[in-house]
Amino acid sequence: MAPRRPPSPPVETLMHLDFSGKVALVTGAASGIGEAVARQLATNGARVVVADLDLAAAEAVAESLGSGARARQLDVGDADAVRQLVDASVAEYGGLHLAVNNAGIGGASLPTADYPLEEWHRVLGVNLHGVFFSMKYEIPAILASGGGAIVNMASILGSNGWAGSTAYVAAKHALVGMTKTAALEYSAQGLRINAVGPGFIDTPLLAGMDRAAYDGLVGLHPIGRLGSAEEVAALTCFLLSEQASFITGSYHLVDGGFSAR
């Protein structure tokens, strides 16, 4: 593959954010955005549950974060598995204060009328039902711990369409609405809930893409490059922090200008 554009500038470690004494659960945390979020939380004092379907990769991440992190295998599409993980995390750490519902899948690329029913259910099962299951069990645990914050990982496709991705787009639009609804329900009880909408992020998933396709994605972002997982994590961790204490029920884009076109 031809050389890519220069990488994005490094994001400084968020040392001004203090998560000391906080317990955080991050789903889809074995790689990409989830891993970057887990690292920034741990660097700033949180004890982190690194949850992912890929247990071996989650264990590698948790080991690199130190003794305050734990790796746990999780299929977010399994409601009972989510309940058990939240209960086990509270039992081990004594509470839960922060959650990032990041686990997600892409799905097939086909026109709406040709979209297979099984694929529709598979994508919504992870990207929408998985977030609902997560919040269903995270919310009582966080309220019982004195309050905190949740960030649900949406996408630019939570507010835009994308041909061939009807299930993914439907799930991400619904996720934004679900986030706003839950925020209305629990903000007065000390629980803030927001959504983040990343643009196209330069992760290992794009490593095999040819130069023309990669440059095509870059061209959709007026800033002239793709984003980094660390940049998404920086916004996510800010929203989890007390510095965002008056922000709830919002959908925050980190997309290099994609949605401003």
Encode the chain (261 residues) as per-residue pLDDT tens digits.
444 554 555 555 444 799 999 999 999 999 999 999 999 999 999 999 999 999 999 999 999 999 999 999 999 999 999 999 999 999 999 999 999 999 999 999 999 999 999 999 999 999 999 999 999 999 999 999 999 999 999 999 999 999 999 999 999 999 999 999 999 999 999 999 999 999 999 987 777 788 999 999 999 999 999 999 999 999 999 999 999 999 999 999 999 999 998
The answer as to whether 223 is a domain residue is yes
The answer as to whether 5 is a domain residue is no
Determine the Cα–Cα distance for residues 247 and 149; give it in Å rounded to an integer: 10
Burial class (CB in 10 A: 0-12, 13-18, 19+), 207: exposed
User: What's the CATH number where 88 sits?
Assistant: 3.40.50.720
The answer as to whether 18 is a domain residue is no
> Which residues does the annotation mark as catalytic?
168
List of residues 6+ apart from 207 with CB closer than 8 A: none
Q: How many other C-beta atoms can be found within 10 angstroms of the C-beta atom of residue 218? A: 17
The answer as to whether 15 is a domain residue is no
pLDDT for the residue 151? 98
pLDDT for the residue 203? 80
Which phi-psi region, left, alpha or beta, contains residue 32 (left: φ > 0; alpha: ψ -120 to 50)? left
Q: Residue 70 pairs with which residues in a beta bridge? A: 49
Enter the tokens of residue 84: 């058990």
The answer as to whether 122 is a domain residue is yes
Determine the Cα–Cα distance for residues 225 and 215; give it in Å rounded to an integer: 9
Tokens 């690194």 sit at which residue? 50
DSSP 165: B
Cut 0.85: pTM above it: yes
Concatenated DSSP letters of 221-243: STTSS-B-HHHHHHHHHHHHSGG
Q: Which residue range forms the structural domain that includes residue 237? A: 23-254
pLDDT for the residue 10? 52
Determine the Cα–Cα distance for residues 172 and 158; give it in Å rounded to an integer: 4
The answer as to whether 9 is a domain residue is no
Residue at 141: amino acid letter: A
Residue at 50: amino acid letter: V
The total of structural domains in the chain comes to 1
Determine the Cα–Cα distance for residues 249 and 261; give it in Å rounded to an integer: 24
Tokens 């949605």 sit at which residue? 259
The answer as to whether 49 is a domain residue is yes
Tokens 């835009």 sit at which residue? 160
The answer as to whether 82 is a domain residue is yes
Q: Where would I find the beta strands (DSSP E) of 58-186?
A: 70-73, 98-101, 148-153
